[in-house]
Amino acid sequence: MSERVVPEEGRRRRRPTKQGTVLSERLIVDTALRLIGEHGAGALTVRRLGASLGADPSALYRYFRDTDDLLLAVADELIGRTLRRFRPTGAWRADLRTLGLMMHADYQAHPQAALLTCARVTGRAYEIQAVETILGILRGAGFPDAEAVRVYHVFVDQTLSFAALDAATLALPAGAREAEEGAWRGTYARLPAQSHPHIAATAPVLVAEMGRSGYPAALEMVLAAAQARLGAVRSPGPPPPGARAAVPGRGPG
């Protein structure tokens, strides 16, 4: 077998399926995205995708080496969708907020693609464009280079990691997702004040807060901290304690 997949631009004979559809990389990726959006997390299987396309499942292996290959193609399309919609205004804080929320929202629309994707460095066109855009916003705002890179790193990793976390929740089978909702209402909200005073005291707030994503609040906090540092750079004074705390990094990896 070895190499049955052919690059899209090298295709010459487009033969219709038994059911009449003409396959293409583009059609397959779009159908996969639609399948995910319409029927939830577990709906993306080779067999179901084949059925949705009106083709034998094995026909897909003429277009993608395996399911991971297919998912990366979906991921690339996702990044593009986010970036193509973004229009910067020139106000750095508003622009980062908008971009962060847009990325987060677009990833939530396709949870399992986000899950398998958002920890990868692709080095492809859209990703490069994103890096350039964000760094431009920060340097344009007056952040010194080193600080701009640090804030960029936090911003991007935070956005992607929250996207993954929230996507993981969305990607859960319906039963498990309801069980998580129920854990807050059924378990935490009923703990006695004697044994768990802090949970008991905050239970109503806790139930309401944990039902939604923490990303918007986390983003605001990071933006606020970034602005504070920007002020410190512009009007130099003593840096706030812990601003450069010595902490172990992850190491080269």
Partner DNA sequence: CACGTTATGACAACACCGTTGACCTGGAAA
Partner DNA sequence: TTTCCAGGTCAACGGTGTTGTCATAACGTG
Minimum CB distance to DNA smaller for 168 or for 225: 168
Q: Do 232 and 240 touch, CB atoms closer than 8 A?
A: yes
Name the token pair of 52: 């949705």
Minimum CB distance to DNA smaller for 46 or for 156: 46
* Region from 59-67, 104-112, 157-165, 228-236 binding DNA, contact rule CB under 7 A: 59-67
Query: What is the C-alpha to C-alpha distance for residues 157 and 163, in angstroms, rounded to an integer?
Result: 10
Instruction: In angstroms, give the least distance from the CB of 19 to a second copy.
Output: 32
Q: Do 110 and 36 touch, CB atoms closer than 8 A?
A: yes
| From the list DNA, a second copy, none, partner contacted by residue 84 (C-beta under 5 to 8 A by kind) | none
23 binds DNA (CB under 7 A): yes
Query: What is the C-alpha to C-alpha distance for residues 16 and 79, in angstroms, rounded to an integer?
Result: 30
Name the token pair of 249: 């990094």
Q: Do 207 and 154 touch, CB atoms closer than 8 A?
A: no
30 binds DNA (CB under 7 A): no
- Identify residue 5 by its one-letter amino acid code: V
* Region from 48-56, 112-120, 200-208, 236-244 binding DNA, contact rule CB under 7 A: 48-56
Tell which one of 40, 41, 59, 225 touches DNA (CB under 7 A).
Answer: 59
Instruction: In angstroms, give the least distance from the CB of 218 to DNA.
Output: 33
66 binds DNA (CB under 7 A): yes
Instruction: In angstroms, give the least distance from the CB of 5 to DNA.
Output: 8
Tell which one of 17, 129, 133, 161 touches DNA (CB under 7 A).
Answer: 17
Query: What DSSP assignment string belongs to 132-193?
Result: HHHHHHHHHHT--HHHHHHHHHHHHHHHHHHHHHHHHHHHS-HHHHHHHHHIIIIIGGG--T
Minimum CB distance to a second copy smaller for 23 or for 155: 155
4 binds DNA (CB under 7 A): yes
Query: What is the C-alpha to C-alpha distance for residues 172 and 166, in angstroms, rounded to an integer?
Result: 10
Name the token pair of 123: 């080095």
Instruction: In angstroms, give the least distance from the CB of 21 to a second copy.
Output: 29
Query: What is the C-alpha to C-alpha distance for residues 73 and 153, in angstroms, rounded to an integer?
Result: 25
| From the list DNA, a second copy, none, partner contacted by residue 235 (C-beta under 5 to 8 A by kind) | none
Residues of the shown chain interacting with DNA in the complex, contacts defined by CB under 7 A? 1-2, 4, 6, 11-19, 22-23, 44-48, 55-59, 61-63, 66-68
